[in-house]
Amino acid sequence: MRRKIVAGNWKMNKSVIDAQQLMYQLLEYKKNNPTQCEVWIAPPSLYLMMAKDLFEKNEIGAFAQDMSEHESGAYTGEISAEMLESIEADGSLIGHSERRQYHGETDSHCNRKIKLALDKGLTPIYCNGETLEQRKSGQHFEVVKNQTEVALFTLTAEEIKKVVIAYEPVWAIGTGETATPEQAQEIHAHIRNILAEKYGKEVADEVSILYGGSVKPDNAKEIFSQPDIDGGLIGGAALKLEDFSKIIEAFN
Ligand code: PEP
């Protein structure tokens, strides 16, 4: 059975007090509500140790939003896989479209980061997806195929099973515009086929593929009910327990 996951990407939001409050609320919620999926958050890295201290029993996964492609050394401002391992973080987002857009990240960078993460026992959440122009010109299948191959195809079958993929069409992130469940399913199935061609169907069937892009309480159930969609990576709607919990409950 593939892992079902709802992961919240907090991006660059919340003071330490507000972050702590939402972590407490989530923990309380998780204690009182058995969930049918794993619940993960990716707060700003500054708050990751606090999350790990609070989530003593690992009730909620704590992820970085990014990590360095280098092991250690003179890379000011960066956080390494080893540092994440040392605080027992669960993993890191890798290749989020905002990292690609504002920091020039490419799939080759993602490939190096994913390898480093796996070497340290961290779960990489590899994000990909096409831009609006690429979708409009019908290139979305090709773009996602290329992204997947460059970022992931140096991994072994055992390694790929440990990766979580988040398909996030760039035109749907933070825009309020969501891919229809059919559009999302089509690409998820496409990604799974790409993996199956390289690693075999059994391996491809074990990889969790999340959808991200304006998932909200009112569209989560329909999106998550698609056969190749194993959960969601949630941005805006992860910032309030009220919305995030309803998205988690879309699995019930
Ligand atoms: C994201 O940033 O990964 C995301 C999906 O954002 P939003 O849900 O706000 O579109």
pLDDT band at 60 (very low <50, low <70, confident <90, very high): very high
Determine whether the annotation assigns residue 174 to a binding site: yes
Q: What is the pLDDT of residues 122-133, one digit of tens each?
A: 999 999 999 999
pLDDT band at 174 (very low <50, low <70, confident <90, very high): confident
Q: If residue 215 lies in a helix (H) or strand (E), which one and from where to where?
A: none
Query: Is the beta carbon of 174 within 6 A of some atom in ligand 1?
Result: yes
| Best mutation site among 6, 94, 215, 246 for ligand 1 pocket (most ligand atoms within 8 Å of CB) | 215
Q: How far apart are CA 90 and CA 122, in angstroms?
A: 6
**Fold for domain 5-251?**
TIM Barrel (3.20.20)
Phi, psi of 22 (to 5 degrees): -65, -35
pLDDT value for 198: 98
Q: How far apart are CA 200 and CA 194, in angstroms?
A: 9
25-43 residues labelled b (16+ CB within 10 A) or e (exposed): ebbebbeeeebebbbbbbb
Kindly tell me if the per-residue pLDDT of 6 is higher than 90: yes
pLDDT band at 15 (very low <50, low <70, confident <90, very high): very high
pLDDT value for 178: 86
| Best mutation site among 5, 9, 13, 97 for ligand 1 pocket (most ligand atoms within 8 Å of CB) | 9
Q: How far apart are CA 17 and CA 226, in angstroms?
A: 37
Q: Could you identify the atom of ligand 1 that is nearest to the CA of residue 234?
A: 8
Q: What is the pLDDT of residues 62-82, one digit of tens each?
A: 999 999 999 999 999 999 999
Catalytic residue (one of 38, 96, 105, 109): 96
